[in-house]
A and B are shown apart, each in its own frame.
Chain A
């Protein structure tokens, strides 16, 4: 074991800043581990030494962990040798094999993961059960309101780190982009619960790290992001996109997000810091439609632009993205943590398609009701 606090290395496999886990064990099969070289010199690749983790395995609690991000994150944590408990109501299966995952890998994971069944909104239960167990680190993947975090903090006075999945949705809309971690936030946004949680963590003096993803995508996504496009592409339907289609958004692959969550574990550079985590490039709405087509091997789609103000869709959402520019700079995580997104957009969408939609699985059935309203109207924007 190395001496000197600052350079103690994890005595399990050192995670280099670029690649993911060895593929024989990894459920992340099919993923490529190439980095794109942006500059003449390789940059943003400080060697693994940045990942200063304590040498011993941690007792880790994941709030959530059975739906999307947590599925990938928990696998990485277990492979790192930590003891991982998932706190869920048990509505989704505690474990499920990932598409393409080897039986051996899945069984190894399944045999090690622990489950604490409960409702996180039952604050008394949260407090007593967590206090009884004691955990070193909490990954809060599904927290929405600050009030949900208090009992956790109360139960774990010796908590080493609280790692929170926040959202880039907290940023105040601006004419100047990208959003950076220092930018103004919107106390009235739909995500104000996330903001209040961040503020609570800051005020409590706990060692926290807050991650702000933008749009997350990847296999098992329950938010119809890429799925929305795939349904239309598969059906050979035109893709209705509001207004100009030039709106710029940003997608981040769930596996890259999971990797980032691992990178901050026990990392002093992440202490009391906020990081935007998403893809390295942004994309226009029109570009995203075309990228999905490429990823799924579909022909180039017909895109139809329309003015959403001319329609009344009732309660239905006609398009899965905010109708505005929405993207965040991920340079802070790159510069300070060495977190470099692995997946390019088309590559990442292909991973999602090959492991999920392309195998016939999806979360929401196709619903073209709003499309038909749009397409039915004779006047569409050219």
Chain B
């Protein structure tokens, strides 16, 4: 009989009694980040927590963390570029530090130029954490991962069935118990009543939608995660950097439209923690869609201001009509020119997940790294910006 590990007993906002067949259970949490102690954690038998005993997380008494009582073997099939690439990186590291087994298969060749960018340049961190890093094509996934068995597969490799079907089919035939998919909140149909909530109408012909449908039919235990924009060290795609580039050079920040558009910019650790919760609570997660985002929205203007504040510098925001610059509009600005705002209601309700993104603080850290790598000194061209500012007759510092 395993000994009690820690004296702190914690309860949390777990799934409510009426929700899932498995009732909230009491378990002793291990020390937060040590990896190998997982196997000795105890899960007591299901104990009904009467709702009246459940307290607000912020009260000091109890917070239950529903932690894994068993070690999982997880395969992450990761894209080799783009905004979602960083998700696999954080998820791998978090799983490893929680004591799980991780193999991350990056699509393509290890020798590809794409591997010269983050997060791939930091994959040694995964290896150091005890994880396995492999490369290959999803068409040959059975061969690439030959001899390995997995409890969980996360597909973070594509936005349509061409990319995901091979992975799903292989996972199914390999008897994988839980299939998770990184989808996109971009599939929600536009609404005048934000936010996008799980279950809302999606664009029927979107690749991700067809994948979700395929997965729901193929797997008993599947879940889909719909992210938006991310910040975080190791990102493959610029996010906050777009603002920093202009702010440190004293250039105006051109924002299309009113600047009032709401969006969701999360720290990637929020996505990673949500995915980890799903791995550790497979029954609760099963069959669900999760908006994989933080729980606050920010306006485009607000993001510019927060970036400036993080940099300790002033910012001049300039609004323009994107129609006035024609086809350059898409490349001019890295965010959608509309309200694009989802809330993580399912994760909170079903997984007892909590957001930790704190944009003001997180951006400070991001700016420190931005300066540390010397990007503030890099020579850059702002051709499209210049076009926009020219048309608005806004002066630019030389």
Contacts and interface: CB of A to CB of B under 8 A. Distances in A.
Interface in B297-324: 297-299, 301-303, 305-306
Interface in B11-38: 13, 16-20
A243 interface: yes
Given A281-B195, A345-B193, A46 B18 contact: yes
Contacts of B306: 175
A178 B262 CA distance: 11
A7 B50 CA distance: 9
B197 interface: yes
B51 A46 contact: yes
Interface in A66-91: none
Contacts of B289: 39-40
A45 B197 CA distance: 17
Interface string A131-173: 0000000000000000000000000000000000000000000
Interface in A153-204: 175-178, 182
A37 B52 CA distance: 25
B177 interface: no
Interface stretch (B161-169, B243-251, B345-353): B345-353
A99 interface: no
Given A37-B199, A40-B287, A283-B192, A175 B18 contact: no
Nearest to A181: B56
Contacts of B295: 329
Residue among A41, A182, A273, A286 facing the most chain B CB atoms (10 A cut-off): A41
Contact of B56 (A248, A336, A345): A336
Interface stretch (B136-144, B253-261, B388-396): B253-261
B52 A52 contact: yes
Contacts of B257: 244, 246
B51 A244 contact: no
B46 interface: no
B288 interface: yes
B359 interface: yes
B198 A38 contact: yes
A375 B273 CA distance: 52
Given A39-B346, A175-B306, A243-B258, A47 B18 contact: yes
Interface in B320-379: 339, 343, 345-346, 348-350, 359
Contacts of A248: 194, 262, 339
Interface string A270-313: 00010000000111101100110000000000000000000000
Contact of B297 (A7, A40, A177): A177
A21 B25 CA distance: 35
B297 A176 contact: yes
B296 A268 contact: no
Contacts of A14: none
Contact of B17 (A46, A182, A281): A46
A373 interface: no
B348 A331 contact: yes
Interface string A324-339: 0100010100011000
A43 B349 contact: yes
A177 B199 contact: no
A178 B297 contact: yes
B346 A43 contact: yes
A265 interface: no
A281 B51 CA distance: 26
A269 B56 CA distance: 9
A44 B20 CA distance: 12
A233 interface: no
A335 B349 contact: yes
Contacts of B303: 175
A269 B50 CA distance: 12
Residue among A42, A46, A175, A325 facing the most chain B CB atoms (10 A cut-off): A175
A6 interface: yes
Nearest to B193: A281
Contacts of B349: 39, 43-44, 335
Contact of A41 (B20, B260, B261, B345): B20
Residue among A7, A182, A335 facing the most chain B CB atoms (10 A cut-off): A335
A49 interface: yes
Contact of A282 (B194, B199, B302, B346): B194
A52 B339 CA distance: 40
A39 B193 contact: no
Residue among B193, B287, B289 facing the most chain A CB atoms (10 A cut-off): B193
A248 B341 CA distance: 11
Given A39-B349, A46-B18, A331-B345, A244 B56 contact: no
Contact of B199 (A40, A176, A247, A291): A40
Contacts of B262: 177, 248, 325
Interface in A116-132: none
A6 B51 CA distance: 10
Nearest to B348: A331
Nearest to B304: A175
Contacts of B192: 283-284, 286-287, 290-291
B340 to A, nearest CB: 12
Nearest to B56: A336
Contacts of A182: 58
Given A39-B349, A40-B287, A46-B18, 20 more contacts: A39-B289, A39-B346, A40-B288, A40-B289, A41-B19, A41-B20, A42-B18, A42-B19, A177-B298, A243-B260, A246-B339, A248-B339, A281-B197, A287-B193, A291-B193, A325-B262, A325-B299, A329-B295, A329-B343, A335-B349
Interface of A: 6-7, 37-47, 49-50, 52, 175-178, 182, 243-244, 246-248, 268-269, 273, 281-284, 286-287, 290-291, 325, 329, 331, 335-336, 345
Task: Pick the 4 closest A-B CB pairs, nearest first.
Answer: A287-B192, A175-B302, A244-B258, A281-B193
10 contacts: A6-B53, A52-B52, A175-B301, A175-B302, A175-B303, A182-B58, A244-B258, A247-B260, A291-B192, A325-B299
Interface of B: 13, 16-20, 50-53, 56, 58, 191-195, 197-199, 257-258, 260-262, 287-289, 295-299, 301-303, 305-306, 339, 343, 345-346, 348-350, 359
